Amino acid sequence: MTRPHSRWVHTLTTAMVALGIGAVIVWQAASLGRASAMDSATAHGFQRLKLYSSTILNALERYSYLPFMLAEDGKVRALLQKPDDPARRRAVDEWLEAANAAAGATALYIEDMTGTAIAANNWREPDTYVGHNYEFRPFFKDAVSGGVGRWFGVGVTTRIPGYFLARVIKDGATPKGVAIVKVDLEQLQREWASGGEKVMVTDVHNIAILTSQPAWKYAVLGSLDDAARATLDATQQYADIALRSLKVVESRDIEKDVHVLTLEIDGGRRTYLVQSAAIPDDSWTIHYLTDMDEILAGSRNAAIIAAFGWVIVVLSWLFLRQRFLRIVAQSKAREEVALTLRKARDELEVTVAERTADLQEEIAERLRAETDLRDAQAELLHTGKMAALGQMSATVAHELSQPLTAIQTYLASARVFAQRGDLGQVFRNLGLIDDLNQRMVHIASHLKTFSRKGGNRRQPVFLSRVADRAMMLLEARAQSEKIAIARAIPPDACVQGDEIRLEQVIVNLFGNALDAMKSTPVKRLSITVTAENAQWVITVADSGPGIAPEHAKHLFDPFFTTKEVGEGLGIGLSLSEGIIREIGGTMRAENGPNGGARFIITLPAHDIGAEGKEAYE
């Protein structure tokens, strides 16, 4: 009488154990799937942060030369000597108008030491800056006290947002005024919005100043305290724009610069994986947001697959167990229940057929789920490749910004020489502009030519000329950072190669050296060329902190960099080493005996003789 009861108890216990094990397996699969999806999303997010940060820095770098050009102009300095002279004011107004037509900034204007604008490119317009006082703006105060000022805000005169670049104008050591350039960054937002990703840049008060989501513009990520509101009122940073709050319902840190935020937006709540990075030289933070629903979709897929797998295992076990019990029963009662055995066999075959069909359907569903996962993985790899391509494009844009800046300077000076009637200087500047244009063409095609062997132009190249042109491109930065440059190059040092490519190598080495010496008290840069066994040895040395032992073996690896986010992608040294190798030379790096880093290039010497040198020059 107790056997049926015991059988039911055993069956129920087995079912409960199977369900418990299945639940554990599904939970573990979901956890692993979620962890994998989070890791993939985090890696992708940091790649996108680098790209977006680079676009911001490149947009600002494009106009960085303008405040210096305005501050050094003779007409501007003459106006500050006699600010009430109508003729001088009209000359500066017209010059600013023409300069901005070429530069493409939002505004150019000059302020005296009271903060009043005395000349501007929009002097003809009703809402001109001329006559308005901007002493309360932080960029004016920073320029007067520290020489330069950078600040983002909404114009109190035009109500147009922009990034302000300011530079003090001095007569000797006495400040006379401030030159201001206003840059429009709204185009960046439109480009971000077209990409469909969620990205925003916040200022020191956590106010969104740039964002791909128009509804988030000028929204506070969290709330403002009384001190922050007082600062905003004093500087009128956002004029009369009403600042609304993106309420943070919940915040949970995952790791450094990575956290999960639940925001209350338009009455609803959304949870995002937020990755953040500081933008160099500004108190800005860039954030990349990934919807957690997209990330958790991978966890749900893993749980579904695990559930299907466990169901298949349980059904297989049940099938085998049932078959085993039937075989045992048949062996005990074969002689007595032959007819029952045949009936049971028929029923078993039907059951097997039905369950096999079910298993095949479940297996097909699992295969479809695996195919979807492979497609998702392929899409993720493709996205990673596109991010790397974007980083290369940003690097090329950065390389082109140097000759573009030089071209702007030569054009500005050419106009001055043309007004003076000095055609010789005008033609000299035009020749230099043509050389820089050729250099930009070579730089733009460099990544394509580097990917295959050969194809570059081989000619005699004098190393002194290469060094002079590289120094010319970095001269303004070296002077501003007070870097002493030493040069020792024999006039007959000549090699066989592509002049533009060799110049790019030297520019890359100089640029890296300047970056390395940003925080060193003594700043020295030297380039020396010596003869050794029918070869020329080029040594570029700096007084920076040197090369860390753990970084030495990775210096020439593609995309290896020790710089902060947005300052570099780690491709310069890799390309430079490839250029030197293509023309039969070698390149290595080491620490100098007195500190700092040294990059040593060895190239075969090329002798073209006195007549060849004269013809080449």
Alpha-helical regions (H) of 269-337 = 292-332
**What integer is the mean pLDDT of 502-521?**
87
**CA–CA separation, 271 and 276 (whole Å):** 16
Judge contact between 211 and 200, C-beta under 8 A.
yes
**What integer is the mean pLDDT of 555-579?**
70
Number of Cβ within 10 Å of residue 28's Cβ equals 13
Identity at 451, one-letter amino acid code: S
Q: From its phi and psi, is residue 482 left (phi > 0), alpha (psi between -120 and 50) or beta? A: left
**CA–CA separation, 79 and 85 (whole Å):** 7
What domains can you pick out in the chain, each with its CATH number?
A: 3-41+298-376 (no CATH), 66-104+106-183 (3.30.450.20), 456-616 (3.30.565.10)
Listed range (191-200, 202-211, 471-480) with the worst mean pLDDT? 471-480
Has residue 376 got a pLDDT over 60?
no
Q: In what order do the strands lie in the sheet with 219-221?
A: 208-211, 198-202, 284-291, 268-279, 258-265, 244-255, 219-221
- Check residue 574 and give its pLDDT: 78
Q: In the chain, count H helices and then E strands.
A: 16, 19
Has residue 167 got a pLDDT over 90?
yes
What DSSP assignment string belongs to 285-303?
A: EEEEEEEHHHHHHHHHHHH
Give 607 or 302, the one with higher predicted confidence: 607
**CA–CA separation, 196 and 374 (whole Å):** 23
Judge contact between 169 and 71, C-beta under 8 A.
yes
Has residue 372 got a pLDDT over 70?
yes
Has residue 387 got a pLDDT over 50?
no
pLDDT tens per residue, range 294-350: 887 766 666 677 677 777 877 777 777 777 767 776 777 667 767 776 887 888 888
- Check residue 159 and give its pLDDT: 85
Identity at 514, one-letter amino acid code: L
Phi, psi of 151 (to 5 degrees): -165, 145
pTM of this structure? 0.47
Give 32 or 165, the one with higher predicted confidence: 165
Judge contact between 177 and 143, C-beta under 8 A.
no
**CA–CA separation, 254 and 601 (whole Å):** 45
Structure token digits, residue 369: 């789920």
